[in-house]
Structure 1
Amino acid sequence: MFGSVLGAFTPSFAALGGKAWRIPWRLSKTRKANVRKRLREVDDVIDVLSASGIECKQLVLAQALPKEHEMSARDKYTTFSRTAKNHRKGVHKVPHFTKRPIPRTTPTGF
């Protein structure tokens, strides 16, 4: 009854747990490869900027971070979360994770 009245706000299928879009519980090989590619592209930009002679505080901080090949798999594919069980959650669980910078280090104390 309400589905036709509310238009776009129809209830989602109950067998899907009430969600229309599901997040996979693990990253696929393709998504992992894309994460590594994005990290390498950021490393390349940092290298180009440092080679150009530009000096700024953010560039110094970015140079101190580990490069993609120096990072562990834990740091590449998971991110810190205060609310998660072990304070880590998959990077694909972060909204718009392809548009946000992936933190390369864990906060101290965790």
Structure 2
Amino acid sequence: MFGAFRPTNVNLGGLLWKTPWKLSVTRKANARARLKKVDAVIESVRASGVHCAALYRALELPKECEMPAKDKYTVFSPHEKGYRKGIHKVPKWTRRTLRTNPKGF
């Protein structure tokens, strides 16, 4: 009866979802395309004549073409060795606005 439950890698602390240590070329391209789509939506809302606080905050953000690669693919993290970590390590990174980082990092 005791032998019916064999330990597996997951039960012994193995990772079920393995996150790669760096972004692949495809995931980088998808991130850039996502930023461009968001820029297009912000521009179309601005052109429509709507005025709201969220639009003003969105207009202050840099566009995808104005962002350096460092800010496109990494975010500031005070706990990391070089104070940067990949955007894919951030929970829900496809749904967050990660365009601004502290100056100098």
- Say whether the fold is shared (TM-score over 0.5): yes
- C-alpha distance in structure 2 between counterparts of 1:10 and 1:48, whole Å: 52
- Say yes or no: does 1:33 pair with 2:29: yes
Deviations 1:38-87 (A, max 9, x none): 10011001000000001111211111111001100000000121211222
Q: 1:69 to 1:4 in 2, by over 3 A?
A: same
Which of 1 and 2 has higher RCO (CA within 8 Å, sep 6+)?
2
Q: Which residue, out of 79, 85, 101, partners 2:96?
A: 101
For structure 1, list consecutive stretches of 5 or more residues without a partner in the other structure: none
For structure 2, list consecutive stretches of 5 or more residues without a partner in the other structure: none
What is the aligned-residue identity percentage?
52
Q: TM-score, normalised by structure 1?
A: 0.80
- Paired residue type of 2:5: S
- Paired residue type of 1:4: F
Q: TM-score, normalised by structure 2?
A: 0.83
- Whether the aligned pair in 2 keeps the contact of 1:13 and 1:19 (CA below 8 Å) is no
- Whether the aligned pair in 2 keeps the contact of 1:13 and 1:20 (CA below 8 Å) is no
Q: What SS class does the counterpart of residue 5 from structure 2 fall into?
A: helix
- Say yes or no: does 1:86 pair with 2:87: no
Query: Cα RMSD between the aligned structures?
Result: 2.6
Aligned residues between the structures: 104
